[in-house]
Structure 1
Amino acid sequence: MGNREIVTAAFDDWVAGRAHVSRIFSVDMTWEITGRSTSAGRYASRQAFTDEVLIPFARRFSADAPFRPVAVRSVHADESTGTVVVLWDGQGTTTAGTTYENTYAWVMRLKGGLVVDGTAFYDSIAFNELWFGVEPTT
């Protein structure tokens, strides 16, 4: 299975609520969030990214309507470099009862079927409104 197919299958599982896309993140991956959102920066491992971003982010959403992709607009791959780019729209209902929507572009480099380096682009203002406007559950 090629990198495009691996990433597409992971997103398909996330859309359907079967598994989070992080299942294809290497333990020693690096992840960068661009821009000036509160979470912007470079994370040195899957654990750091999970603990500092993914878990606090997920705790701001209802268990009945968690955040996940609602549309994968496109998936592009360069198998010679292991790079896969996904443009996608995500949505979820917050614990405050509001809807959070954002469009993401993720550029990921895979090795051995796992993401070893990623960069995320998204609307930082919408992200910060969620981060500071909705208290995470414990």
Structure 2
Amino acid sequence: MNTSDNKALVQHIHAELDKGNGQAFIDSLADDASWTLEGTTPWSRTYAGKEAIREELIKPLFAQFAAPYASKTERIIAEGDRVVVLFSGDVPTKAGKRYNNRYCYVYRLEGGKVKELTEYFDTALVQQALEAPPAAAHAG
């Protein structure tokens, strides 16, 4: 896949995320994908493998949300196997806090799948608005 193909795949993923549909993102993950959340929050680490991403990151995170997560993609830049996405999201938590974060995702694609994802975000907001993940999530 070339730069254009990689950018088109990520554009599709984020167009679906902006509609509240995360299935395209899940479907795009390679089985051995890794997702690194930068920073020093309780959530910050590398989640290795599609199953760990779903079970240790996505499920416990979305369990804290009181409504569907709404994202808004602002810009997508691609070069070779790397695609960078700037976007924001907003959702109320079940604890009554507002989780309105801004993100920079750096994707590395391989063979039409997301192989690596590095996420940069407002770590202070994570600490303020989200509860720490379950202890089992720290197993990786």
Tell me the TM-score normalized by structure 2. 0.83
Q: Decide whether the 8 Å contact of 2:41 with 2:123 is kept in 1.
A: yes
Distance 2:112 2:32 in 1: 13
The one-letter code of the counterpart of 1:98 is: K
User: How many residues matched?
Assistant: 129
Does residue 17 (structure 1) correspond to residue 20 (structure 2)? The answer is yes
Give the alignment partner of residue 7 of structure 1, picking from 2, 5, 10.
10
Tell me the TM-score normalized by structure 1. 0.84
Query: In the superposition, relative to structure 1, how do residues 33 and 19 fare at CA in structure 2: closer, same or farther (>3 Å)?
Result: closer
Any idea what SS the aligned residue of 2:130 has? helix
Residue of structure 2 equivalent to 1:113: 112
Query: In the superposition, relative to structure 1, how do residues 18 and 30 fare at CA in structure 2: closer, same or farther (>3 Å)?
Result: closer
Q: Decide whether the 8 Å contact of 2:37 with 2:45 is kept in 1.
A: yes
Does residue 68 (structure 1) correspond to residue 67 (structure 2)? The answer is no
Q: CA RMSD of the aligned region, Å? A: 1.9
Return 5+ residue gaps in structure 1 as ranges: 134-138
The one-letter code of the counterpart of 1:77 is: A
Shift of 1:61: 0.8
Distance 1:67 1:18 in 2: 9
Distance 2:65 2:49 in 1: 24
The one-letter code of the counterpart of 1:114 is: K
| Aligned-residue identity in percent | 27
The one-letter code of the counterpart of 2:131 is: F
Any idea what SS the aligned residue of 1:32 has? strand
Shift of 1:84: 0.4
Does residue 29 (structure 1) correspond to residue 30 (structure 2)? The answer is no
